[in-house]
Amino acid sequence: MKQEERNWLDLPSDLTFNILNRIGMVDILEHAQKVCTAWRKICKDPVMWRVIDMNEVSRLEAESICKRAVDRSQGQLVDITLINDYDAQLLLYVADRSSHLRRLEMVYSLFFGSLTEDHLMKFPLLEEVNFYFVGISKEVIKTLGSYCLMLKTLKVNEKPNRSHVYDDTDEIAIAIEQNLVELRHLELVGNRMTNIGLQAILDNCHQLQTLDLRACFNIALNGDLEKKCFEQIKYLKFPKDSLQGCPYICETDSDATDEYGSDDRLDEDCYNFRSYDERRDDRPYMDSYSYNYRDNCDGYDSFDVYDYHFQID
C-alpha cells in the first residue's frame, strides 16, 4: 500500500511553531521564513522571539542577528543570553526595546562596567540575572538592588582558580548582603570571598533557599558558620563539590588548564569534589539545578513559550 504523503502546511500552527522554534535563530531568519507564506507569518510572530539565545550565533554576525531578533520581539522579549564580548551599545539597544525582560544571562562579556545603570534601570521586571566570567563590580550589584526589585535569582560565577586563596575579597558578597536581601537563589562559583562575606550574606539574606559555593576556596566551612548554613539554606553546594554540570565552566578546558597547570588538575577539580564533609548527607543536596526559573515563572501575558519544549520523535 502506498504511504499517504503528508503536507507540512497541514500541521497545526502551534506544532509548526514548536518545530521552527527549535531550529535556531539563524536558520529561521535565513531559511525557514522563506519557505512559504504560512511559515513566514509564524517566523515574524513576536511570540517566536520571546527567548533569544546568542550561543548558537557566530561572533561575526552576532550584533546584526541580535538586533533583528529583538526588533521582531516587539517588546515581548523575556529571556536573553549574550555570549562573548559585545559593544555596550548593543545591550542598551536591547534595554530600550525590552522592558519586560525577566531573565538576563551574559557570558565572557568584558564591557559590562560601562553604562551599567543605563542598562539595568530599563529592566524593572528582571527575576534572574546570570553572569559567567563577566567580572562585575559592587556598583553592578547596587544597581540591581536599586532598579530590579523583583530579582530572585543571581549567579555571579567565575572560572575556578586556586591562586585566589592568596587574593581574597568580600566586595561582591558585602554588596549582595547590603542590596539584594530578597534573593532566593544565589550562585557564587569561583568567588574569592572569605568567611566574613559568607557570614554577612547569611545574616541579611533571610529568604535565601539555595546557595552555591563551589570553588570558593577562601571559605573554611566549619563550626558555627557551617551550622548556620545547614539551618538556613535548603539546598547547599560546598566549596569542594563537583563542578560537573555547571554551565560554561568545565567547557573552557584550554583556559582553565593554563590556570591549573595540567589537564589532570582540571579534571580533578571539575569532577572529583564529592567528599567534602559527610555531614552534608543529612541535608537535601542541590543537583545542578534543583530549582528551575523557567518552570516557576508566572505565566506571561499571552503565550508561554516555555510550554513548547516537548520532544518530537
Angle (CA) 183-229-164 rounded to 5° is: 85
Sheet holding 185-187, edge to edge: 51-53, 79-83, 103-107, 128-132, 153-157, 185-187, 210-212, 235-237
The separation between CA 73 and the C-alpha centre of its own chain, rounded to angstroms, equals 20
Answer yes or no: do 106 and 187 share one domain: yes
Answer yes or no: do 226 and 164 share one domain: yes
Answer yes or no: do 190 and 250 share one domain: yes
Query: Rounded CA gap, 183 and 92, in Å?
Result: 25
Answer yes or no: do 28 and 165 share one domain: no
**292, 42 in Cβ contact below 8 A?**
no
Number of independent structural domains in the chain = 2
Query: Rounded CA gap, 116 and 119, in Å?
Result: 5
Query: Rounded CA gap, 140 and 58, in Å?
Result: 28
How far apart, in Å, do the first and last CA atoms of the chain sit? Answer: 23
pLDDT in tens, 177-195: 999 999 999 999 999 999 9
Mean pLDDT for all residues in the chain: 76
**92, 63 in Cβ contact below 8 A?**
no
Q: Which residue has the higher pLDDT, 253 or 43?
A: 43
Containing domain of residue 30, as a range? 11-44
Q: Give a yes or no: residue 308 inside a domain.
A: no
Answer yes or no: do 220 and 146 share one domain: yes
Answer yes or no: do 224 and 264 share one domain: yes
Answer yes or no: do 88 and 166 share one domain: yes
Q: Give a yes or no: residue 108 inside a domain.
A: yes
pLDDT in tens, 146-188: 999 999 999 999 988 766 555 679 999 999 999 999 999 999 9
Q: Give a yes or no: residue 307 inside a domain.
A: no
Q: Give a yes or no: residue 161 inside a domain.
A: yes
Q: Domain holding 167: CATH number? A: 3.80.10.10
Q: Give a yes or no: residue 165 inside a domain.
A: yes
Answer yes or no: do 179 and 213 share one domain: yes
Answer yes or no: do 142 and 281 share one domain: yes
Answer yes or no: do 29 and 118 share one domain: no
Query: Rounded CA gap, 126 and 110, in Å?
Result: 21
Could you identify the residue written with the cell 552555591?
A: 212
Identity (one letter) of the amino acid at 107? V
Answer yes or no: do 80 and 32 share one domain: no
Q: Give a yes or no: residue 272 inside a domain.
A: yes
Q: Which residue has the higher pLDDT, 68 or 116?
A: 68
Q: Is the pLDDT of residue 133 over 80?
A: yes
pLDDT in tens, 283-297: 444 444 333 433 443
Q: Give a yes or no: residue 295 inside a domain.
A: no
Q: Give a yes or no: residue 293 inside a domain.
A: no
